[in-house]
C-alpha cells in the first residue's frame, strides 16, 4: 500500500505485499539454472534478519490473532471517545507491524524459489489469515468515521502517531460503506485480486514457447529469455524473429487475457461507483493523493514533447546499426552493444559506495551493511523472480532481489533498489508505521535518483568518449526509456481503457490491441514501424493490475531529475532537502513532498525541464557518434 488508509484500502494489502517495488517481474523456469539448494549462501539474502526461524514467525502470527480477538471485544461498538479511538489505533499499529513482518517473511521466501511447495503453502496460509484479520478489524474505520469531526480532531491532537491515519479517515468519510459491506470486501480481498493471479498463471504456467529459427539456427524461447535477452539482441534477424515468435505465442491467449483484464477494470469501476466516486480515475487517484490534472499532464506533455526527441533517438539507432527499417522490435538495442563493462559483485560495492557517497556517510554505511549483512539476493536459480525489487518491512532492514550477471547495468539496478532501501530506512525510522505509506506518485523518485547519481559519478571517472557515450546511452535506454517511454505508453493506453469503462463500456482483445497500436503510433509517428505484434504489447505488463501505477514511474523520475540537478549545482543544501523528502514518508501529499526537495510539481516546469534534459543527452550521444 502506498498513501492509503490501511483499512479503507484493504484490498491493496494482499495484492502489493512488497509495496516499495522497483521493477519486479515473475519467476523464470529455466532448467539450465541451479536449484536453490545448490546456491552458495553468500549470494542469497538472510531472512533470519526478520525471524530466526519459522517457529518465531508462527509465534507472531498467533500473537496477532490474539490481539485481533481482544480488539474486537474491547473496541467494537465502543469507539466513541478520543481516548478509546487512540487506544484502538495503538493496538492496530502493533497488528500492522506484526502482519508486515509475518507477510514479508513468507512472501520473500516464495519469491526466490517458486518450486518450494512448503513455502507456497505457508504463504497461502498466511495470506488467508491476514485477510481474515483485516476483515474482522474493518469496523475500526467505520466506527471512527461515525463520530463527530470534533471527536476525531481531539483524538488527532492527543496522538502524533495516529494523527495522519485519522486525517485520512476524515478524508475518506464520504466513501466508506456500511460496516458489513466493508467487512465483506475485506474478506473477499483475495478473490478481488484474482485477475492478477490468473494473468500470471496464463502468462507463466500455461504458455509453452517453441523454439524459433534465425540465420539457419534454432534458438530456445521463453518469456524471460525474450524480455531479458532477445529484446536487446544485437543480431537483427535473431531479435526480430524472436519477437515474431514470442508475439505469435502470446496472441494465442489474447482473449482470455483480455477477459481477465476486463474483469479487473470492471471491478475497479464497480468499487469506485459503490464508494461514490464520479469516475474510476478519481477513485484510483484518491489513494495517491494526486489530482486528475497532475495525472493527465504527465501523460499529455510527455506524449507531445518527448516524442520528437525519442524519434530522433530511434533514427540514431537505425543509422548506427544500418537497419533497413526501424521496427518496434529494434527500440531496445544498445547504441554500442559491444561495449558493456563486466563488473563482479565485489567491484559493484566500490562503484555504488562512491557513486552514492554524495548522500552522506550514513547512506554509505547502509550500503556497506547491505553487502555485509546479506540484504541482497544476487543468485540466479530455478524458480526465482526475475528483474529486481526491494521490500522494507517496518523495523527491519531491506531485502533486495536481483539476478547478477556481471554487467554494469546490474550496478544501476542495485543502485535503484538501494534507493528504495534508503528511502524506507529513513521514513521507517522517522515515522509511525501509519506514516510510511508513501504515495506511488513519489515512491520511484528515490530509486531513480540513485540511477542518475550513479551515471553522473561514472561520467566523472573516465574521460574516454566511448565510455561517456555508453553511460549517456545507458541513461536513455534504461533509466529514461523504461520510465518515460515504456511505462508512459502503458499509462496512455491504460487511460483510454478506463475512459471506455467509465462510459459504461467494456474491453475485449480487439479493442485493447487497437488502443495500444494507436498509442504507440501517436508517440513514434512514421519513424518506427508499429506492427500488429507491437500492438499486442498490452498483454505483457502486470502494471495494469495495480491501478494507475504506470504513469508514476515518469512522475517519480521527474522529481528525481530535478532534485539531482539541484544537487549537482547547489551541493549539500540540496542533499539536505532531499533527505527531508526521504524522512517525511507519507506525512505529506506528493506536492508537499516534492516541495521539501525544492521542486514545485504544481507547474509544468519540472516536467518540461526534464524532457529538455533528455533531449540534451540525446544531442550529446549524436555528437559523440559522429566524432
Please write the tens of the pLDDT for every residue from 553-611: 999 999 999 999 999 999 999 999 999 999 999 999 999 999 999 999 999 999 999 99
pLDDT greater than 70 at residue 9: no
Q: Please give the C-alpha separations between residue 63 and each of 53, 59, 187, in angstroms, as whole numbers.
A: 16, 6, 20
Core vs surface per residue 455-480: b (16+ CB within 10 A) or e:
bbbbeeeeeeeebbbbbbbbbbbbbb
The pLDDT > 70 percentage for the chain reads: 95
- Grid cell of 511 as nine digits: 479493442
- Grid cell of 77 as nine digits: 461498538
pLDDT greater than 60 at residue 622: yes
- Grid cell of 521 as nine digits: 503510433
pLDDT greater than 50 at residue 25: no
- Grid cell of 7 as nine digits: 483499512
The DSSP 8-state label assigned to residue 486 in this structure reads I
- Grid cell of 9 as nine digits: 484500502
Look-up: residue for cell 475518506? 172
Q: pLDDT higher for 16 or 152?
A: 152
Q: Band the pLDDT of 238: cuts 50, 70, 90.
A: very high
Mean pLDDT to the nearest integer, 468-490 = 92
CA 305, CA 295: separation in Å to the nearest integer? 16
Contact 363, 352 (CB under 8 A): no
CA 451, CA 563: separation in Å to the nearest integer? 13
Q: Band the pLDDT of 182: cuts 50, 70, 90.
A: confident
- Grid cell of 145 as nine digits: 468515521
CA 459, CA 6: separation in Å to the nearest integer? 43
Q: What residues does 399 pair with on adjacent strands?
A: 391
Core vs surface per residue 135-148: b (16+ CB within 10 A) or e:
bbbbbbbbbbbebe
SS3 381: strand
Helix, strand, coil % over all residues of the chain, rounded to 5: 70, 5, 25
pLDDT greater than 70 at residue 170: yes
Core vs surface per residue 178-194: b (16+ CB within 10 A) or e:
ebeebbebbbebbebbe
Number of C-beta neighbours around residue 73 at 10 A: 9
Q: Band the pLDDT of 261: cuts 50, 70, 90.
A: very high
Identify the pLDDT of residue 386: 67
Angle between helices 509-524 and 487-502 (to 10 degrees): 130
Q: Band the pLDDT of 229: cuts 50, 70, 90.
A: confident
Q: Band the pLDDT of 15: cuts 50, 70, 90.
A: very low
pLDDT greater than 80 at residue 474: yes
pTM comes to 0.89
The pLDDT > 90 percentage for the chain reads: 79
Amino acid at each position: 500500500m502506498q498513501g492509503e488508509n490501511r483499512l479503507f484500502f484493504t484490498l491493496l494489502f494482499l495484492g502489493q505485499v512488497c509495496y516499495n517495488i522497483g521493477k519486479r517481474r515473475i519467476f523464470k523456469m529455466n532448467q539450465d539454472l541451479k536449484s536453490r539448494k545448490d546456491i552458495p549462501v553468500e549470494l542469497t539474502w538472510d531472512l533470519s534478519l526478520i525471524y530466526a526461524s519459522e517457529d518465531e514467525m508462527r509465534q507472531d502470527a498467533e500473537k496477532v490473532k490474539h490481539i485481533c480477538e481482544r480488539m474486537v471485544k474491547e473496541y467494537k461498538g465502543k469507539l466513541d471517545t478520543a481516548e478509546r479511538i487512540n487506544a484502538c489505533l495503538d493496538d492496530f499499529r502493533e497488528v500492522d507491524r506484526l502482519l508486515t513482518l509475518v507477510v514479508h517473511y513468507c512472501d520473500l521466501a516464495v519469491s526466490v524459489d517458486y518450486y518450494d511447495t512448503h513455502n507456497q503453502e505457508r504463504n497461502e496460509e498466511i495470506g488467508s489469515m491476514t485477510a481474515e484479520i483485516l476483515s474482522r478489524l474493518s469496523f475500526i474505520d467505520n466506527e471512527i468515521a461515525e463520530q463527530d469531526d470534533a471527536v476525531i480532531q481531539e483524538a488527532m491532537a492527543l496522538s502524533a502517531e495516529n494523527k495522519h491515519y485519522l486525517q485520512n479517515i476524515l478524508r475518506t468519510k464520504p466513501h466508506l460503506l456500511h460496516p458489513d459491506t466493508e467487512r465483506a470486501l475485506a474478506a473477499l480481498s483475495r478473490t478481488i485480486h484474482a485477475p492478477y493471479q490468473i494473468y500470471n498463471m496464463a502468462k507463466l504456467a500455461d504458455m509453452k514457447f517453441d523454439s524459433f529459427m534465425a540465420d539457419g539456427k534454432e534458438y530456445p524461447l521463453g518469456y524471460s529469455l525474450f524480455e531479458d535477452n532477445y529484446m536487446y539482441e544485437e543480431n537483427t534477424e535473431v531479435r526480430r524473429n524472436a519477437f515474431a515468435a514470442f508475439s505469435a505465442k502470446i496472441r494465442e491467449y489474447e482473449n482470455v487475457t483480455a477477459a481477465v483484464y476486463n474483469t479487473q477494470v470492471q471491478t475497479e469501476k464497480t468499487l469506485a461507483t459503490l464508494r461514490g466516486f464520479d469516475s474510476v480515475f478519481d477513485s484510483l487517484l484518491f489513494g495517491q493523493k494526486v489530482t486528475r490534472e497532475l495525472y493527465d499532464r504527465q501523460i499529455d506533455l510527455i506524449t507531445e514533447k518527448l516524442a520528437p526527441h525519442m524519434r530522433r533517438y530511434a533514427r540514431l539507432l537505425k543509422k548506427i546499426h544500418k537497419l533497413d527499417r526501424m521496427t518496434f522490435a529494434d527500440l531496445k538495442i544498445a547504441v554500442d552493444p559491444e561495449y558493456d563493462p563486466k563488473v563482479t559483485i565485489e567491484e559493484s560495492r566500490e562503484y555504488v559506495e562512491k557513486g552514492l557517497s554524495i548522500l552522506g556517510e550514513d547512506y554509505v554505511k547502509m550500503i556497506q551493511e547491505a553487502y555485509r549483512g546479506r540484504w541482497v539476493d544476487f543468485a540466479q536459480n530455478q524458480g526465482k523472480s526475475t528483474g529486481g525489487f526491494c521490500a522494507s518491512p517496518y523495523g527491519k532492514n531491506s531485502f533486495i532481489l536481483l539476478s547478477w550477471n556481471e554487467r554494469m547495468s546490474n550496478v544501476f539496478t542495485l543502485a535503484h533498489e538501494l534507493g528504495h532501501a534508503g528511502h524506507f530506512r529513513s521514513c521507517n525510522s522517522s515515522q509511525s508505521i501509519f506514516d510510511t505509506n508513501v504515495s506511488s506518485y513519489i515512491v520511484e523518485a528515490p530509486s531513480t535518483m540513485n540511477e542518475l547519481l550513479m551515471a553522473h559519478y561514472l561520467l566523472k571517472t573516465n574521460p574516454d568518449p566511448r565510455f561517456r557515450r555508453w553511460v549517456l546511452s545507458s541513461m536513455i535506454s534504461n533509466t529514461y526509456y523504461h520510465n518515460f517511454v515504456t511505462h508512459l505508453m502503458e499509462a496512455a493506453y491504460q487511460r483510454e481503457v478506463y475512459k471506455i469503462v467509465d462510459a459504461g463500456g467494456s474491453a475485449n482483445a480487439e479493442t485493447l490491441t487497437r488502443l495500444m497500436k494507436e498509442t504507440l503510433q501517436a508517440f513514434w509517428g512514421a519513424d518506427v514501424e508499429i506492427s500488429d505484434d507491437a500492438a499486442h504489447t498490452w498483454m505483457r505488463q502486470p502494471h495494469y493490475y495495480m491501478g494507475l501505477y504506470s504513469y508514476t514511474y515518469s512522475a517519480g523520475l521527474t522529481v528525481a531529475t530535478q532534485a539531482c540537478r539541484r544537487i549537482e549545482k547547489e551541493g549539500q543544501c540540496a542533499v539536505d532537502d532531499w533527505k527531508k523528502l526521504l524522512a517525511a514518508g507519507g506525512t505529506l501529499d506528493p506536492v508537499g513532498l516534492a516541495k521539501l526537495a525544492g521542486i514545485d510539481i504544481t507547474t509544468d516546469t519540472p516536467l518540461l525541464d526534464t524532457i529538455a534534459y533528455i533531449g540534451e543527452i540525446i544531442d550529446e550521444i549524436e555528437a559523440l557518434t559522429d566524432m
